[in-house]
Amino acid sequence: MKEFIGGETAAITADACDKSPTICRATDIPPALARLSAPPAARLPVNRCNLPAEALASLAFQLAPVPLEVDGVLPLHAPLFERLSLVDDATDRARIFMQYMTAHFLLDDPPALGLTGSARVDRSRLDYLRLLRGWLFDSEGREGAVLKSWVESRFGLLTAFHHGPLGEADDPARTAFEHERAAGLYGTGALEAQVDLLYAYTQHELARRDPGRSHLTLYRGLNGRDALPELARLPDGCTVVVLNNLSSFSASQERADEFGDRVLACEVPLPKVLAFSRLLPGRLQGEDEYLVIGGVAAVRRVD
């Protein structure tokens, strides 16, 4: 099978995902279908990573993913990843990562983050850990708005759903979303930069824990109101949909079934995983939950 990105043709070799389940059984995907991406109105013209939004949000990316890097993160934190590369135990790596986050972002020094005795609100404790816990508790909350806005900034994919569908720039629902994310970021210590490093660490961990793997089989429960925009159907029965710019998936089909009256399975490219509940042992709660960056994806109903 061939993949088409921006008119260029590249062969998909057996090695590309030889440890991954089959994404789809279609053997002849037309170029126009492979190029399907999130609608132009759902993408920003610029982002802060190594691929434009149109490419990373395409079906072709799901079929043949490449690493994604947020601009400047790996060079800035090279000493951390050099040290992590020498550590074999995942729990030890997590400890080193959290210690580095605390030291680099001064997370244990509120005055250094600008907290004073006259401050009306103490936002110094809203760090990457509380952001993740807030998402795992309620992805439609303020922490969810902050994480979705981070995806907008770094990957150029606009939020389509938060408490409900978000319309154009002048839509009251989008305005409310922008106010919520601004309130979430107000008075915090480089919170988006913390998420930058969290994403880079997640990618490092996924590669270390299962070398050579390109995709994870993940599941999402949906209710009627959660219908995803459908773009096409593949010959094997898979449906091509547009995911929100950040969504929760589970590694457990049974767990996903608790959150909807139907369950979809998706082969998620590892570069689309922002974080997961077992990333930092003992610090996050969740039932094998994964935060997945959106775009176009082929999914199949499994319930």
pLDDT digits (tens, 9 = 90+) for 60-110: 999 999 999 999 999 999 999 999 999 999 999 999 999 999 999 999 876
> Of all residues in the chain, what percent carry a pLDDT higher than 90?
68
Average pLDDT, the chain: 86
Which stretch of 109-123, 138-152, 261-275 has the lowest confidence by average pLDDT?
109-123
The residue-averaged pLDDT of 106-126 equals 66
User: In terms of Cα–Cα distance, which of 104, 173, 111 is closest to 145?
Assistant: 173
* Residue 72 confidence (pLDDT): 97
Render pLDDT for 233-292 as a digit per residue (tens, 0 to 9).
988 889 999 999 999 999 999 999 988 889 999 999 999 999 999 999 888 876 789 999
* Residue 167 confidence (pLDDT): 85
Tokens of 144: 């969810």
Helices (H), 19-171: 31-34, 53-56, 59-63, 73-76, 78-84, 90-104, 128-137, 142-155
User: In terms of Cα–Cα distance, which of 253, 256, 248 is closest to 272?
Assistant: 248
CA 37 to chain centre: 16
User: In terms of Cα–Cα distance, which of 278, 297, 42, 291 is closest to 144?
Assistant: 291
Quote the pTM value: 0.88
Beta-bridge mates of residue 296 = 242
pLDDT-derived band at 194 (thresholds 50, 70, 90) equals very high
Which stretch of 151-155, 167-171, 180-184 has the lowest confidence by average pLDDT?
167-171
The residue-averaged pLDDT of 137-142 equals 92
User: Judging by DSSP bridges, how do beta strands 289-301 and 239-250 pair with one another?
Assistant: antiparallel
pLDDT-derived band at 123 (thresholds 50, 70, 90) equals low
pLDDT-derived band at 11 (thresholds 50, 70, 90) equals very low
Long-range contacts of 166-170 (CB under 8 A, 24+ apart): 168/41
The Cα 295–Cα 52 span in angstroms is 12
* Residue 120 confidence (pLDDT): 57
The residue-averaged pLDDT of 130-137 equals 93
pLDDT over 90 at 14, yes or no: no
User: In terms of Cα–Cα distance, which of 286, 127, 278 is closest to 206?
Assistant: 278
* Residue 169 confidence (pLDDT): 81
pLDDT over 90 at 7, yes or no: no
Query: CB within 8 A of 244, min separation 6: which ones?
Result: 148, 159, 160, 161, 294
The Cα 87–Cα 83 span in angstroms is 7
Give the C-alpha distances (Å, rounded to integers) separating 240 from 9, 38, 108, 201.
Answer: 21, 11, 45, 30
Q: Are 265 and 232 in contact (CB under 8 A)?
A: no
Tokens of 134: 């807030």
Q: What is the DSSP string of 276-296?
A: ETTSSTTT---SSEEEEEEEE
The residue-averaged pLDDT of 208-231 equals 89
User: Judging by DSSP bridges, how do beta strands 215-222 and 230-233 pair with one another?
Assistant: unpaired
Task: Work out the number of other CB atoms within 10 angstroms of the CB of residue 228.
Answer: 20
The Cα 295–Cα 291 span in angstroms is 13
pLDDT over 70 at 189, yes or no: yes
Strand (E) or helix (H) holding 257? helix 253-257
Q: Are 142 and 187 in contact (CB under 8 A)?
A: no
The residue-averaged pLDDT of 44-70 equals 97
